[in-house]
Amino acid sequence: PNVESKRKSVTAVSIRDGQRTFGSEALNNCVRFPKTCYAYFLDLLAKPLNHPIVKDFQSKFPYLSSWKTPPRE
């Protein structure tokens, strides 16, 4: 169920001081603490770091880090 009682929830995650927040609560943290927030990332899933969409995201959010993970078995 959608705990925010909205038709669509915001896709955002914020990790600050070991505390995770999601959705609109995470967006509140995005405004105050942008380095703790990850939003607009669904298009990045399963894309290589050299993909144009990833490059565009990195240019818009340079304070967020991206890294390559090893292949899963």
47 to each of 16, 32, 59, how far by Cα in Å?
26, 29, 16
Q: Which domain holds residue 30?
A: 12-60
The answer to whether residue 70 is domain-embedded is no
The answer to whether residue 49 is domain-embedded is yes
The answer to whether residue 65 is domain-embedded is no
The tens-digit pLDDT sequence of the chain (73 residues) is: 566 666 677 889 999 999 999 988 999 998 899 889 888 888 888 888 899 999 998 898 888 877 777 877 7
The answer to whether residue 43 is domain-embedded is yes
The answer to whether residue 6 is domain-embedded is no
User: Which pLDDT belongs to residue 71?
Assistant: 79
User: Which pLDDT belongs to residue 2?
Assistant: 62
The answer to whether residue 7 is domain-embedded is no
Task: Provide the CA 47 distance to its chain's centre, in angstroms.
Answer: 14
The answer to whether residue 68 is domain-embedded is no
